[in-house]
Amino acid sequence: MNGAFFDQNSPHHLSELDLVVFPFIFIFMFLSGYKEYKLLLLLSQFPWANFIFALPKNVASGKARARPFFVPRKPR
């Protein structure tokens, strides 16, 4: 890491607003599940939001039911 995120001339520069909003998006992700997280990222239109497509296909397409990470699945 050569400080590209803090270089004003870099295409990967993060503004102060991005540095404030970025942690809250991950908090929101764990509290609400991937489906709403994807919707939040697409609506936020941040330039680094395209990593959402690296998620598994069934999660990114919304086929998997969004559930918080701290709720265990019911035993069969």
- Give 5-57 pLDDT, tens digit per residue: 566 666 666 677 777 777 777 777 666 666 665 666 655 555 554 555 455 44
CA 54 to chain centre: 11
Please compute, for residue 34, the number of CA atoms within 13 A of its CA located in the half-sphere on the CB side: 16
The whole-angstrom separation of Cα 34 and Cα 26 is 10
Contact 28, 40 (CB under 8 A): yes
- Cβ atoms of residues 60 and 51 within 8 Å: no
pTM over 0.75: no
Helices (H), the chain: 16-32, 34-44, 57-60
